[in-house]
Amino acid sequence: MSVRLTQFLDEQKVSYKTIVHATTYTAQETAQMVHIKGREIAKSVIVKIDGEMVMVVVPASRQVDLEALKRVSGANAVELAAEAEFRGKFPECDTGAMPPFGNLYGMRVYVDESLTKDKEIAFNACNHNELIQMAYDDFARVARPQVVASVASAAAA
């Protein structure tokens, strides 16, 4: 787990637990590995909204609906960012294993409202073999995300 992330959570007095698991590369695989429902695992997706990189947090079992995000953000253009475009913003994280704290990396954070309904959420701890599980309320307090409705749609089969 990243020292930067643990220091941030400790400074914010957040109670969390770490779950170590075999290496996985998708949020759905991780959910199955640790026996947590995919809708309770938060995955961070980097999106460009009118050219600005932002983090969109959705359940592992879903994908970002770019058209819905465009509508709710009032943007002219919304597209997924390429890994090469954002890899350097998360130097201590494995690519694709970023925690949902965009504010820690100078990014705005949007969270799909479906995640607000869970008492707890879990997410990557900067690598592909550890999760952090914490109360959703603590996540909301420290990440200060903008909650948006219906920006997550069913994942492609």
Strand pairing class (42-49; 78-80): antiparallel
pLDDT band at 116 (very low <50, low <70, confident <90, very high): very high
Q: pLDDT per residue over 18-28, tens digit each?
A: 999 888 888 77
Six-digit token pair at 43?
A: 């995955």
Secondary structure percentages of the chain, helix, strand, coil, to 5: 35, 30, 35
Query: Residue 16 is part of which domain span?
Result: 3-152
Distinct helix (H) and strand (E) counts, the chain: 5, 10
Any domain includes 157: no
User: pTM above 0.85?
Assistant: yes
The arithmetic mean of pLDDT across residues 13-39, rounded, is 86
Q: What is the CATH number of the domain that holds 126?
A: 3.90.960.10
- The mean pLDDT value for 117-137 works out to 92
Under 8 Å between Cβ of 68 and 151: yes
In this predicted model, which residue has the larger pLDDT, 81 or 34?
A: 81
Whether 122 shows a pLDDT value over 50: the answer reads yes
How many domains is the chain built from? 1
Q: Does residue 76 lie within any of the structural domains?
A: yes
